[in-house]
């Protein structure tokens, strides 16, 4: 199935799961929790407060070399929006992609997503753990703080 077919399939609507695909086009589902959703919201709101332009997108789909992955939160600049609009999924990663760690996530899975988003053009990938501690990653490795949003805090 294509991503468009997946998101428009009535059988897959309103599921309490986050849907992604792997490189074989197989559907992967992860259970969602209210705490996870709240952390997504708070992260997006905090980004919006420190970035004076651009847009925050939750559940942002990105075509990667390992299928469509869905960043929990993303920030796109006005320039990114002008070039890519709201196409689904994005063929290039937004400037900031954020993964909120769920109890079902394995460390290896999160590390893989960081690599995938950076490979697709993200400038930074942030990982928010269950204590709301944020780690920042760029093409140069782990950062002490975000270079794109240095005043960010949840």
For 25-48, what is each residue's pLDDT tens digit? Answer: 888 878 778 899 999 999 999 999
Quickly list H helices, the chain: 3-8, 34-50, 78-84, 107-119
Contact 99, 44 (CB under 8 A): no
- Determine, yes or no, domain membership for 7: no
Mean pLDDT confidence for 86-115: 95
CATH number of the domain residue 70 falls in: 3.90.1570.10
- Determine, yes or no, domain membership for 66: yes
What is the domain count for the chain? Answer: 1
Residues 6+ apart with CB under 8 A from 121: 92, 93
Integer Cα distance of 146 and 128 in angstroms = 13
Over residues 128-144, the pLDDT tens digits come to 998 999 999 999 999 99
- Determine, yes or no, domain membership for 5: no
- Determine, yes or no, domain membership for 150: no
pTM of the model: 0.90
> Looking at per-residue confidence, does 70 or 31 come out higher?
70
Question: In terms of residue numbers, what domain contains 67?
Answer: 32-143
76 dihedral zone (left: phi>0; alpha: psi -120 to 50; beta): beta
Over residues 50-67, the pLDDT tens digits come to 998 999 999 999 999 999
The pLDDT assigned to 35 comes to 92
User: For the CA atoms of the chain, what is the radius of gyration?
Assistant: 15
- Determine, yes or no, domain membership for 15: no
Residue among 20, 75, 82, 85 nearest 50 (CA): 75
């Amino acid at each position: 199935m294509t991503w468009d077919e997946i998101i428009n399939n009535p059988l897959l609507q309103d599921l309490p799961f986050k849907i992604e695909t792997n490189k074989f086009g197989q559907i992967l589902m992860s259970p969602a929790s209210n705490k996870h959703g709240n952390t997504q919201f708070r992260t997006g709101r905090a980004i919006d407060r420190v970035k004076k332009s651009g847009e925050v997108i939750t559940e942002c789909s990105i075509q990667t070399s390992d299928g469509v992955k869905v960043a929990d939160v993303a920030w796109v600049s006005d320039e990114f929006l002008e070039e890519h609009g709201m196409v689904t999924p994005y063929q290039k990663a937004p400037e900031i992609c954020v993964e909120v760690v769920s109890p079902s996530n394995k460390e290896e899975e999160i590390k893989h997503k960081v690599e995938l988003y950076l490979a697709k053009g993200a400038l930074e990938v942030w990982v928010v753990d269950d204590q709301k501690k944020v780690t920042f990653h760029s093409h140069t490795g782990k950062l002490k703080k975000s270079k794109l949003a240095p005043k960010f805090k949840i």
